């Protein structure tokens, strides 16, 4: 693999991780289509899974106090049950069909987000309100819910 491709892959992974950290989704949504421009789609999918999982473990640690186990358990079970059929399909799908599938999912996801009636823009991107109404910067160690940050990534806030 050439240095240009490796540099581009690094940039794609960086962009995908930034998207994941900012929006809580999108690592594969960014990484797979962009890597598929230079690689076949199947290696792009597998690489995205391999590279995207370790950062999720860190993010999981950060958000653990905000998760309601009763709401997450059915989704977690469904995601585990969906792995086998997905891997089986990935193994058997034609690479060209996989590219079309990836592109279709990206387009549907983007349109769904764009046309969603439940989107509410907030003014809290860099400043968060304290209970007394005074803003406090994320760099002062407050998480996205207005609580003191903790965990290995707290210095990034």
Question: Would you give the distance in Å from CA 138 to the centre of its chain?
Answer: 20
- Mind listing the pLDDT tens digit for each residue in 93-135? 999 999 999 899 889 988 887 887 665 554 444 444 444 444 4
Q: Which of 62, 83, 16 lies closest to 156 in space, CA to CA?
A: 62
Which letter does DSSP use for residue 148 in this model?
B
User: Measured between alpha carbons, how far is residue 147 from residues 61, 76, 85, 151 in Å?
Assistant: 15, 26, 39, 12
User: Measured between alpha carbons, how far is residue 54 from residues 34, 50, 136 in Å?
Assistant: 20, 8, 30
**In sequence order, which residues have a C-beta less than 8 Å from that of residue 59 and are 6 or more positions away?**
20, 21, 24, 153
pLDDT tens sequence for the chain (157 residues): 788 888 888 999 999 888 887 877 788 888 999 998 888 999 999 999 899 888 888 878 888 888 888 888 898 899 899 999 999 999 999 999 999 998 998 899 888 878 876 655 544 444 444 444 444 444 445 555 555 555 555 555 4
Residue 51 tokens, joined? 């590279």
**In sequence order, which residues have a C-beta less than 8 Å from that of residue 2 and are 6 or more positions away?**
none
pLDDT of residue 57: 83
Cα 142 from Cα 124, distance rounded (Å): 12
pTM of this prediction? 0.61
User: Measured between alpha carbons, how far is residue 12 from residues 86, 105, 132, 142 in Å?
Assistant: 23, 18, 41, 29
């Amino acid at each position: 693999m050439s240095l240009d491709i490796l540099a581009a892959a690094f940039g794609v992974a960086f962009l995908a991780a930034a998207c994941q950290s900012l929006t809580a989704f999108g690592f594969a949504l960014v990484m797979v289509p962009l890597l598929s421009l230079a690689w076949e789609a199947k290696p792009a999918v597998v690489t995205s899974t391999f590279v995207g999982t370790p950062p999720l473990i860190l993010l999981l640690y950060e958000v653990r106090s905000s998760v309601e186990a009763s709401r997450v358990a059915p989704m977690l079970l469904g995601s585990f049950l969906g792995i086998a059929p997905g891997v089986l399909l990935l193994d058997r799908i034609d690479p060209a069909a996989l590219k079309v599938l990836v592109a279709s999912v990206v387009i549907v996801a983007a349109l769904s987000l764009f046309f969603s009636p439940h989107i509410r823009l907030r003014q809290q991107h860099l400043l968060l309100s304290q209970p007394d109404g005074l803003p406090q910067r994320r760099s002062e160690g407050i998480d996205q819910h207005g609580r003191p940050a903790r965990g290995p990534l707290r210095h990034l806030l």
